[in-house]
Structure formats: structure tokens, C-alpha cells
Amino acid sequence: MDRIIHESKGEFYIGGVDSPDAQLFFEEDDNVITITSTEVTPAQREQGLGKDLVDHVVNYARKEKKKVDPVCSFAYDVIKSTPEYHVVWKE
């Protein structure tokens, strides 16, 4: 399912700006995007929103030629279990 992913400073989110269904928080420098946290509301869990946000960051990193450092355990698990993401993974 295609979901609209919005961006705010240090955050990608799905849903409304005041009450998003899912959020991914990150820090970015010249070479690395560090995923610090991923949150999904209880009502929206198990629907793939968190994974969609991680996918979005990976695609963004590829486009910007950056590495991804998944400090967040959820993002780490997604990236580790998806071999095609290893090219941007900052292990």
C-alpha cells in the first residue's frame, strides 16, 4: 500500500501533523542518517507503517549517497533482515 510520508525537521511521519499514526525520528549529518526512534500508535500496529518509514529512509539515503545508522532496535531489525538495504547500512 502506498502511504503518504511527510517530513518535518528530524522526522518522517504518516498521518496528521498533530496526531501522526507513525513517526520515525532521525539525525542527519553530511554522511550518515541516524535513526533514533520509530513509533507507531497502538491502533496502527502490525500494518507495516514502521517498515514503510524505514524503507523511506533507506531510499532517501540511497538518493543522497549516505549511510544509515539504525540506533533504533526496530529499524536495526528491518535493515538487518533486508539484504538489499545492507549497501547503505553503517555497521
Query: Could you list the residue range(s) of the whole structural domain that residue 45 is in?
Result: 5-85
- Residue 17 located in a structural domain: yes
**Domain CATH number, residue 29:** 3.40.630.30
Question: What pTM was estimated for this model as a whole?
Answer: 0.92
Identify the pLDDT of residue 16: 87
- In order, the DSSP letters of 54-85 are HHHHHHHHHHHT-EEEE-SHHHHHHHHT-GGG
Overall number of domains in the chain: 1
pLDDT at 84: 95
Per-residue pLDDT reduced to its tens digit, 49-70: 999 999 999 999 999 999 999 9
pLDDT at 3 over 90: no
The percent of residues in the chain predicted with pLDDT above 90, rounded, is 82
Helix (H) or strand (E) segment spanning residue 7: strand 5-8
